[in-house]
Amino acid sequence: MKPTETEFSQGVKILLERMQNNPEDFIGGDDPYKAPKFELFAKLMNDVIRGDRVKNWQDWYLFTKAEQTALIQGYKDMMRARFDQGIMSKLLEEPREPYIKPEYYGKPLTASAIQTEALKALEQAYAKNPTTFKLTPSQVAMANKLGLSPAEYARKLNQI
């Protein structure tokens, strides 16, 4: 005689209910620094579904076949709902600005290209208000190369 859902162990009932109502307990939520409560269970269920051996989870063999089937189905349902939610959020998502500005398309983003852009910005700032900078942009670049702050580099130049 196979056990029915009423004959499931209390732990299996709790897991099935939590998978249905609180999937963030298994697969995480919005906070990437907070580990899900049942993260280990989710990893083990993933191994079971993929057909990997569950040698690290001795409790799996304590479940009846009906409980195992119910846990697998509950986990699959939870993951399907997560998949559907991900697709819907992508469809409803607002378009974002590109990470790389269009003027960089087709150009290699090397350290020298980034430094050149930084020097251009410094030169523009220096041209607008030369009293705010005591160093030229090339001197600021040299200070960075030496691992000094611009103020330390300026002091060293004044000492010479």
Q: What percent of the chain has pLDDT over 70?
A: 66
The predicted pLDDT at position 98 comes to 54
Reported as a single tens digit per residue, the pLDDT across 112-136 is 666 676 667 666 665 665 544 457 7
Give dist(CA 35, CA 57) in Å, integer.
20
Taking 60 as the threshold, does the pLDDT of residue 151 lie above it? yes
**Mean pLDDT (the chain, rounded):** 75
Residue 35 CA neighbour count, 13 Å, CB half: 7
Beta-carbon contacts of residue 122 (< 8 Å; ≥ 6 apart): 133, 137, 140
Tens of pLDDT along 62-95? Answer: 888 898 889 889 999 998 998 898 888 888 887 7
- The residue among 47 and 128 whose pLDDT is bigger is 47
Say which residue the tokens 């290699």 belong to.
108
Contact 85, 77 (CB under 8 A): no
What's the average model confidence in pLDDT over 48-60? 73
The number of angstroms, rounded, from the C-alpha of 91 to the middle of its chain's C-alpha atoms is 20
